[in-house]
């Protein structure tokens, strides 16, 4: 259908549109017009991606600026899905407009996923693929070949040079699969085709990391212009992605490898000194002059790029004591040796960057300044030495990146030294966690650089948390409710068992047999009444294991077994995917199954249980994070001190976003239906923190149920849902045809006119002054559910 938002003609590739899709597009347009960032929470299964793409493509094509769209998603399958939607959209537009638009869209993923080289593509590890690819494609390798040396080149990459550089692939939308197929047919490298074509694309779809991870962003996303529209889809975890992209873990093993790397560098320098001393001398001269190697920086495949550095530093010349290659290598060795001494710890230590630097200086005379230049200096050296087998230098690069970061940021980072790698380990394997505490650091360049950044997901409540944590301001924050013709999902909070005893995964009572039995009965009862699939989420693997074994002892598992097959998610990815497959089969063949999984695991994030794959989801307990973790404690303290986010508020927010993610798994569209059960007495207080579309659908009477009441309610709900439901019944209410939309618009205009008249009258009466946005409802009731689990945190 075709409709207008203000003056913008939008082509929407379906004959019907959901009201929330329309509202979403209007708000998107407002944001783009205003030039600013926004946070939009759109219910899952309401066609967020297609709305987003339809509007932005319409926007691009209509206005003369032709702002480029950078669409970031989390996984390869989501990227592929978005590309497919876009392809369909463009096809629809072509049909409607009667001509093909000059339009390009490409997706980008790692070399490992796109490689066509017969031997390289067989490598299992991504870093190995990267390294081998580089050894066949780097600029100096080709130079060598031209000088007549015997080196291998990748033919797929070479072929690209025969094509017009701005027209490596034809216009149109290529899915990743499509791109690989095209590459195979034309014997050209899909990865480099996509990379090189990025400046000429209208839409680029890739993973978060290409923008957020400074090591990658510098290479891939540098040339994107300021007016690009950046979208982060499924962004409810974006703060964690930001933090991970700047956090580094260093182990004794990686230090050993780094030492080996440094020694190799030393040898290479000696070799080069005797064979081609001029090269080193050239590098040295450049560094003395403080010239950045502009032409080389543009080379499409740098070895490392710099972590986020302040601009003024980048303009400065490299300090004198690491200008010479051999001095720099000895500097690195000293630094690595120092780190080794720090690994000899017997208990956990946490330290701030300044105190780390002081101690470092006392022992090794390494100062902050040269340390800051470490990553950059290493890049330059590696380039000068023309190293091929870079995967050997990976650990050294990590150390250099760490050096640069620790010397650059006084705040927002924390070093934690732990003698054991994990809680359960008994053999010491010390780890140095260099943890980023401030999600805003990694994403700051994105907000600084791009005028419109759109953060969107199905679960972003409370919306104001994201601008706070990520340090940006929005022009618009909105959460949409879901319009439904019938009540197609039933969210409930179960606070008590049938015996009226309270249930909770709270620390004191979680192992109480009464509570465990009540939880068991809840699962059992739902297994009895629910058709096909049920998904049950636990707060952690540890808790899941203990409760399952207790259920085993109580005979509950056996009883469940009478109704459903039982499958369990494990930390092992392959085991889990096998379990998932069996689960799906059992759901399809009528046996029915129940899947036990973890609220922060893979299943909760990426896997959909639509239709009969999930008719009920049970959330056993509030999925709080493990609060004893040093890293978490440090982050909580940081959030309190710098963003005035209180520990409990954050933990509660974090738990609820994961709970909401779990609930969202079973509802993937408007024709779908399912029961959502939150089983913990503490959920009652927290329901305001659920996304609007879930909390709105929750009846007051269903927020404090016992197991038997919940089962009765669910039973009647499922019976109603089993009645045939015609798409027609939704029309005009939860789906609009063009006519419905126009009716809505007319009504809206009337309403606006009325408002305007009223305001005008008001204005005249009150000397024309109005204050907007006064009195935001203040309903933050004190949260006492959390306290029992949390002795106040003490990060020192």
Six-digit token pair at 577? Answer: 């995917």
Q: Closer CB to another protein, residue 150 or residue 778?
A: 778
Stretch that binds another protein, among 153-161, 487-495, 567-575, 771-779 (CB under 8 A): 771-779
According to the binding rule CB under 8 A, does residue 769 interact with another protein? yes
Among 128, 277, 288, 727, the residue binding another protein under the rule CB under 8 A is 288
Q: Closer CB to another protein, residue 305 or residue 477?
A: 477
- Binders of another protein among residues 248 to 287 (CB under 8 A) are 259
DSSP code per residue over 662-708: HHHTT--STT--EEEEEESTTHHHHGGGS-HHHHTTS-GGGSSEEHH
Residues 6+ away with beta carbon under 8 Å from 330 = none
How many helices (H) and strands (E) the chain has is answered by: 34, 21
**Phi, psi for 381 (deg, rounded to 5):** -65, -45
According to the binding rule CB under 8 A, does residue 300 interact with another protein? no
With contacts defined by CB under 8 A, how many residues of the chain interact with another protein? Answer: 50
Among 275, 562, 574, 796, the residue binding another protein under the rule CB under 8 A is 796
According to the binding rule CB under 8 A, does residue 770 interact with another protein? yes
According to the binding rule CB under 8 A, does residue 65 interact with another protein? no
Among 4, 365, 507, 561, the residue binding another protein under the rule CB under 8 A is 365
CB of 433 to another protein, least distance (A): 20
Query: Please, is 493 exposed, middle or buried when counting C-beta atoms within 10 Å of its C-beta (0-12, 13-18, 19+)?
Result: buried
| Contact string 636-665 vs another protein (x = CB under 8 A) | -x--xx--x-xxx-----------------
Q: Closer CB to another protein, residue 323 or residue 496?
A: 323
Among 159, 321, 451, 570, the residue binding another protein under the rule CB under 8 A is 321
CB of 341 to another protein, least distance (A): 6
Stretch that binds another protein, among 138-146, 350-358, 570-578, 697-705 (CB under 8 A): 350-358
Give the separation between CA 325 and CA 265, rounded to whole angstroms.
Answer: 9
- Binders of another protein among residues 711 to 740 (CB under 8 A) are none
CB of 279 to another protein, least distance (A): 19
Task: Report CA 343 to chain centroid distance, whole Å.
Answer: 31
Give the separation between CA 42 and CA 72, rounded to whole angstroms.
Answer: 16
Query: Which residue has tokens 């000429």?
Result: 200
* Residue 449: C-alpha distances to residues 197, 213, 229, 454, 758 (Å): 21, 15, 11, 13, 41
Among 314, 578, 746, 763, the residue binding another protein under the rule CB under 8 A is 763
DSSP 3-state of 617? strand
Residues 99, 103, 105: CA angle, nearest 5 degrees: 135
Instruction: Give the closest residue to 660 by CA, choosing from 683, 685, 627.
Output: 683
Stretch that binds another protein, among 87-95, 166-174, 380-388, 635-643 (CB under 8 A): 635-643
CB of 491 to another protein, least distance (A): 24
According to the binding rule CB under 8 A, does residue 34 interact with another protein? no
Six-digit token pair at 183? Answer: 């590459």
According to the binding rule CB under 8 A, does residue 346 interact with another protein? no
Among 225, 561, 768, 788, the residue binding another protein under the rule CB under 8 A is 768
CB of 771 to another protein, least distance (A): 4
Give the separation between CA 60 and CA 68, rounded to whole angstroms.
Answer: 7
Stretch that binds another protein, among 234-242, 326-334, 504-512, 726-734 (CB under 8 A): 326-334
CB of 314 to another protein, least distance (A): 15
Give the separation between CA 482 and CA 479, rounded to whole angstroms.
Answer: 10
Whether the Cβ atoms of residue 408 and residue 397 lie closer than 8 Å to each other: no
Stretch that binds another protein, among 42-50, 161-169, 171-179, 356-364 (CB under 8 A): 356-364
According to the binding rule CB under 8 A, does residue 757 interact with another protein? no
Give the separation between CA 471 and CA 464, rounded to whole angstroms.
Answer: 11
Q: Please report the sign of the dihedral spanned by the C-alpha atoms of residue 248, residue 254, residue 258, residue 264.
A: negative
Instruction: Give the closest residue to 633 by CA, choosing from 405, 437, 421, 430.
Output: 437
CB of 506 to another protein, least distance (A): 16
Among 358, 508, 585, 589, the residue binding another protein under the rule CB under 8 A is 358
CB of 17 to another protein, least distance (A): 32
According to the binding rule CB under 8 A, does residue 591 interact with another protein? no
CB of 47 to another protein, least distance (A): 34
Stretch that binds another protein, among 325-333, 579-587, 614-622, 746-754 (CB under 8 A): 325-333
Among 3, 182, 338, 420, the residue binding another protein under the rule CB under 8 A is 338
CB of 324 to another protein, least distance (A): 7
CB of 309 to another protein, least distance (A): 16
According to the binding rule CB under 8 A, does residue 766 interact with another protein? yes
DSSP 3-state of 344? coil
Neighbours of 365 (CB within 10 A): 10
Neighbours of 225 (CB within 10 A): 11
According to the binding rule CB under 8 A, does residue 700 interact with another protein? no
Among 340, 368, 528, 687, the residue binding another protein under the rule CB under 8 A is 340
Neighbours of 625 (CB within 10 A): 17
CB of 769 to another protein, least distance (A): 5
Q: Closer CB to another protein, residue 343 or residue 588?
A: 343
Six-digit token pair at 521? Answer: 């009965």
| Contact string 204-243 vs another protein (x = CB under 8 A) | ----------------------------------------
Give the separation between CA 407 and CA 280, rounded to whole angstroms.
Answer: 27
Query: Please, is 93 exposed, middle or buried when counting C-beta atoms within 10 Å of its C-beta (0-12, 13-18, 19+)?
Result: buried
Among 75, 84, 251, 330, the residue binding another protein under the rule CB under 8 A is 330
Stretch that binds another protein, among 331-339, 449-457, 527-535, 547-555 (CB under 8 A): 331-339
Residues 6+ away with beta carbon under 8 Å from 7 = none
Instruction: Give the closest residue to 538 by CA, choosing from 591, 590, 598.
Output: 598
Q: Where are the alpha helices (DSSP H) in 453-572?
A: 465-470, 513-529, 541-554, 556-563
The DSSP bridge pattern shows strands 431-436 and 413-418 to be antiparallel
Q: Closer CB to another protein, residue 329 or residue 548?
A: 329
Torsion of CA 62, 65, 66, 69, to 10 degrees: -120
Among 9, 139, 310, 320, the residue binding another protein under the rule CB under 8 A is 320
Whether the Cβ atoms of residue 313 and residue 371 lie closer than 8 Å to each other: no
Among 274, 346, 426, 767, the residue binding another protein under the rule CB under 8 A is 767
Give the separation between CA 234 and CA 460, rounded to whole angstroms.
Answer: 9
Give the separation between CA 339 and CA 327, rounded to whole angstroms.
Answer: 19
Strands (E), 600-729: 616-620, 674-679, 705-706
Give the separation between CA 636 and CA 374, rounded to whole angstroms.
Answer: 30
Evaluate the omega torsion of the peptide bond into residue 462 and state whether it is cis, within 30 degrees of 0.
yes
Among 74, 209, 286, 323, the residue binding another protein under the rule CB under 8 A is 323
According to the binding rule CB under 8 A, does residue 327 interact with another protein? yes
Residues 6+ away with beta carbon under 8 Å from 216 = 209, 210, 305
According to the binding rule CB under 8 A, does residue 742 interact with another protein? no
According to the binding rule CB under 8 A, does residue 326 interact with another protein? yes
Give the separation between CA 196 and CA 299, rounded to whole angstroms.
Answer: 11
Q: Closer CB to another protein, residue 186 or residue 292?
A: 292
- Binders of another protein among residues 130 to 169 (CB under 8 A) are none
Q: Closer CB to another protein, residue 88 or residue 272?
A: 272
The enclosing H or E element of 684 equals helix 683-686
Binding residues (CB under 8 A) for another protein: these are 259, 288, 316-317, 319-321, 323-324, 326-327, 330, 333-334, 337-338, 340-341, 354-355, 358, 363-365, 637, 640-641, 644, 646-648, 763, 766-772, 778-782, 784, 787, 792, 794-796
């Amino acid at each position: 259908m075709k409709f207008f938002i203000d003056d913008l003609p939008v082509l929407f590739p379906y004959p019907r549109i959901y009201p929330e899709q329309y509202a979403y597009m209007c708000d998107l347009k407002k944001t783009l017009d205003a030039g600013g960032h926004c946070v939009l929470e759109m219910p899952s299964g309401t066609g967020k991606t297609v709305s987003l793409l339809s509007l932005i493509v319409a926007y691009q094509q209509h206005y003369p600026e032709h702002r480029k769209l950078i669409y970031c998603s989390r996984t390869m399958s989501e990227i592929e899905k978005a590309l497919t939607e876009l392809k369909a959209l463009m096809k629809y537009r072509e049909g409607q407009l009667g001509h093909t638009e000059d339009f390009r869209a490409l997706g980008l993923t790692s070399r490992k996923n796109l490689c066509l080289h017969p031997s390289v593509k067989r490598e299992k590890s991504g870093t190995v693929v990267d390294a081998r690819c580089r050894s066949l494609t780097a600029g100096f390798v080709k130079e060598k070949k031209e000088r007549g040396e015997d080196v291998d080149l990748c033919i797929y990459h070479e072929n690209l040079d025969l094509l017009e550089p701005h027209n490596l692939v034809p216009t149109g939308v290529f899915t990743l699969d499509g791109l690989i197929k095209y590459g195979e047919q034309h014997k050209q490298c899909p990865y480099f085709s996509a990379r090189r074509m990025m400046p000429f694309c209208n839409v680029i779809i890739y993973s978060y990391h290409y923008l957020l991870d400074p090591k990658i962003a510098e290479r891939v996303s540098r040339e994107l212009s300021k007016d690009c529209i950046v979208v982060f889809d499924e962004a409810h975890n974006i703060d964690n992605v930001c933090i991970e992209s700047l956090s580094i873990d260093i182990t004794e093993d990686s230090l050993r490898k780094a030492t080996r790397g440094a020694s190799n560098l030393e040898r290479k320098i000696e070799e080069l000194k005797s064979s081609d001393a001029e090269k080193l001398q050239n590098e040295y001269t450049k560094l003395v002059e403080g010239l950045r190697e502009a032409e080389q920086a543009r080379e499409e495949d740098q070895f490392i790029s710099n972590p986020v550095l302040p601009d003024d530093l980048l303009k400065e010349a490299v300090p004198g004591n690491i200008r010479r290659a051999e001095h720099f290598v000895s500097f690195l060795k000293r630094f690595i040796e120092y780190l080794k001494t720090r690994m000899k710890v017997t208990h956990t230590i946490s330290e701030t960057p300044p105190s780390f630097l002081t101690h470092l200086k006392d022992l090794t005379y390494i100062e902050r300044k040269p340390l800051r230049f470490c990553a950059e200096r290493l890049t330059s050296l590696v380039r000068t030495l023309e190293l091929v087998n870079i995967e050997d230098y990976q650990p050294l690069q990590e150390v250099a990146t760490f050096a640069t970061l620790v010397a650059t940021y006084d705040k927002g980072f924390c070093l934690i030294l732990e003698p054991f790698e994990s809680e359960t380990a008994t053999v010491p394997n010390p780890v140095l966690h260099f943890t980023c505490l401030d999600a805003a650091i990694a994403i700051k360049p994105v907000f600084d650089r791009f005028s419109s950044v759109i953060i969107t997901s199905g679960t972003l409540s409370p919306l104001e948390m994201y601008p706070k944590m990520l340090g940006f301001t929005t022009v618009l924050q909105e959460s949409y409710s879901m319009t439904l013709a019938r009540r197609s999902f039933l969210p409930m909070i179960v606070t008590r068992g049938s015996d009226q005893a309270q249930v909770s995964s709270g620390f004191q009572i979680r192992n109480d047999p009464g509570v465990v039995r009540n939880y068991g009965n809840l699962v059992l009862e739902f297994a009895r009444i629910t058709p096909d699939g049920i998904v049950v989420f636990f707060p952690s693997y540890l808790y899941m294991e203990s409760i399952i074994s207790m259920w085993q002892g109580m005979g509950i598992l056996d009883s469940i077994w009478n109704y459903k097959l039982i499958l369990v998610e494990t930390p092992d990815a392959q085991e889990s995917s096998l379990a998932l497959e069996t689960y799906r089969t059992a759901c399809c063949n009528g046996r029915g199954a129940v899947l036990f999984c973890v609220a922060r695991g893979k299943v909760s994030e990426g896997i959909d249980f639509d239709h009969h794959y999930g008719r009920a989801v049970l959330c056993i307990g509030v999925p709080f994070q493990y609060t004893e973790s040093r890293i978490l404690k440090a982050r909580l303290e940081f959030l309190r001190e710098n963003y005035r986010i209180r520990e409990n508020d954050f933990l509660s927010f974090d738990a609820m976003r994961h709970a909401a993610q779990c609930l969202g798994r079973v509802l993937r569209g408007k024709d779908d239906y399912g029961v959502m059960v939150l089983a913990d007495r503490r959920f009652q207080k927290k329901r305001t923190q659920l996304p609007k579309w879930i909390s709105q659908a929750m009846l007051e009477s269903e927020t404090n149920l016992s197991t038997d009441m919940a089962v009765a309610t669910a039973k009647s709900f499922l019976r109603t849902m089993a009645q045939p439901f015609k798409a027609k019944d939704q029309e005009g209410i939860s789906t609009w045809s063009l006519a419905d939309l126009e009716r809505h618009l007319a009504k809206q205009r009337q309403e606006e006119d009325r408002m305007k008249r009223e305001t005008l009258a008001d204005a005249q009466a009150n000397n024309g002054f109005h204050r907007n946005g006064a009195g935001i409802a203040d309903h933050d009731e004190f949260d006492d559910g959390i306290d029992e689990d949390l002795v106040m945190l003490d990060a020192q």
